[in-house]
Amino acid sequence: MDRFVSSPLMMEAIAIRSALHFALENGFSHIRLNSDAQDLIRALVSQEYIKEIYGLLFDIHALAFCFSSISFNFVPRSVNFLSDSIAKSALSRLSSLLSLWDPQL
């Protein structure tokens, strides 16, 4: 996990915010977002706020209004294996690249 990210929940919220930015920049108007972070999906669907990620939840809700339709869905990790594997691989590669750039990371 990135040294600037305090928890897996925060990392998942950052990833969702980034995905929504990407979708908007690329002209998507209908989004179905799946995640295995059950607490995060519950907070997004019910518009509850989790203190640790309050600002990220606010950003995600604001971005959600930019889409014609959007849904947030919980998917168990066992069903979401391919996406989970891709995300872990990307994070590992990014960490390797960053450590080459700055050995103190």
- Tell me the C-alpha distance between 35 and 37, whole Å: 5
Which amino acid, one-letter code, is at 60?
A: I
In DSSP notation, 33-79 reads: EEES-HHHHHHHHHT---GGGHHHHHHHHHHHTTSSEEEEEE--TTT
pTM: predicted TM-score of the whole model, two decimal places: 0.75
pLDDT in tens, 34-70: 998 999 999 999 988 899 999 999 999 999 999 999 9
Domain boundaries, the chain: 8-74, 77-105
CA gap 18, 76 in Å, rounded: 21
Q: pLDDT tens digit string along 66-93?
A: 999 999 999 987 777 776 676 667 666 6
Q: Are 56 and 64 in contact (CB under 8 A)?
A: no
